[in-house]
Amino acid sequence: MSRTPTEPRDAPPLDGYETFRVEADVSDRQGAYQIGHAVYDSGGDGAPVLLLHELPGMTPECLDLASRLRGEGFRVLMPLLFGEPGRTDSLGTLSNRCVRRDFAAWRRGDSGPVGDWFRGLVREVSDRAGGRAVGVIGMCMTGNFAVMLLAEPEVGGAVTCQPAPLVFPLFPPSNRADLGLSEAELEASRQRAEAMPKPALLGYRFASDLLSPRARFRRLEDVFGDSFRGTEIPDLCFRHAVLTLHYSDKPESPTRKAFEEITAFFRDRLG
């Protein structure tokens, strides 16, 4: 893992954040190559939380979530996996990015080359925070990476929201429980979670969410047992993004309750 100055074209400026670029040497069936992404860092003395954006990119709603986390005293670090901060990418653009070499997570049972990049990123974030434990939030297509990163010693707790790796969730039926991770990755996370205060992993999804089927939570329950605490939020129509697009900050809102649970979890686990 190496740190290099960020090129302006890779990291458009974002008010309140500094940027750095992280690169890693990875390999796949085609051979060795390098992955590099810009990371936005809010700075400060708070416990570090690594926020992984969803498939539409680092949307305005994602930035709102980052602001709420900062308002709770956390230091927020966000890798820009594609797109530009503050923009929602079109479906056509997303369809092209879904098959990018480093995001081969669409292959069942494999986190893809970017999984290795994320592991190095966690170490980088902890180093930048003086060796502190790191919290991780993954959402939608990055929800599986939050589960995977629980295996890393630098991670103090992880949250997976509506995990939806790039695997069509309905057909065949076996896809409904697919987390986009290998058995070895799941076992490494399970072993680490077993040695951590429980729960080590929180999960949230809307009950009607077809993109993140209930079977994925059942799979996490089977793997992690009492190290995983999953919450299904009742809803009357299709909703997907618990902390971003479909988030409500009203005092009685179950999504606000979820956010409050997450911040309390990180305060306890990250110190």
Render pLDDT for 27-52 as a digit per residue (tens, 0 to 9).
877 888 888 999 999 999 999 999 99
Average pLDDT for the chain: 88
SS3 call for 232: strand
For domain 2-270, say whether CATH 1.10.10.60 is its number: no
CB 192 within 8 A of CB 177: no
Contacts of 160 (CB under 8 A, 6+ apart): 138, 139, 143, 144, 146, 147, 201, 202, 203, 204, 220
What digits encode the pLDDT tens for the residues 12-32? 899 999 999 999 898 877 888
Q: Cis ω on the peptide bond leading into residue 199 (within 30° of 0)?
A: yes
The phi, psi pair for 137, rounded to 5°, reads -120, 120
CA–CA separation, 42 vs 258, rounded Å?
Answer: 23
Q: How many CA atoms lie within 13 A of 133 on its CB side?
A: 17
Neighbours of 260 (CB within 10 A): 11
pLDDT digits (tens, 9 = 90+) for 88-119: 875 555 555 544 666 654 455 667 788 889 99
What integer pLDDT is reported at residue 89 of this predicted model?
Answer: 78
Question: Considering only 85-89, 189-193, 239-243, which range has the smallest mean pLDDT?
Answer: 85-89
Cα 249 to Cα 174, 234, 255, 260: the distances in Å are 35, 16, 7, 10
The H or E element that residue 52 is part of is: strand 48-52
Instruction: Please check the confidence at residue 244 and state whether its pLDDT lies above 90.
Output: yes
| The token pair that represents 270 in the structure block | 């990250």
Estimate to the nearest angstrom the gap between the alpha carbon of 101 and the chain centroid.
19
Establish whether the linkage from the previous residue to 8 is cis, with ω within 30° of 0.
Answer: no
Q: Which of the 8 DSSP states describes residue 236?
A: S
- 254 Cβ contact partners less than 8 Å away, ≥ 6 residues apart: 233, 234
At 205 the pLDDT is 98
62-98 residues labelled b (16+ CB within 10 A) or e (exposed): bbebbebbbebebbbbbbbbbbebeebbeeeebeeee
Is the model's pLDDT at 228 over the cut of 90?
yes
Please list the residues that pair with 161 across neighbouring strands: 139, 204
Integer-rounded Cα Rg, in Å, for the chain is 17
Instruction: Give Cα 44 distance to the centre of its chain.
Output: 21
Report domain extents, the chain: 2-270
Whether 167 has a pLDDT exceeding 80, the answer reads no
Q: Say yes or no to pLDDT of 5 above 50.
A: no
Whole-number pLDDT of residue 180: 86
Distance CA 90, CA 87 (A): 9
**Relative orientation angle of helices 214-224 and 183-194, to the nearest 10 degrees:** 60
Find the mean pLDDT for residues 202-206.
98
Report whether pLDDT(226) > 50. yes
Q: Which residue has better confidence, 152 or 211?
A: 152
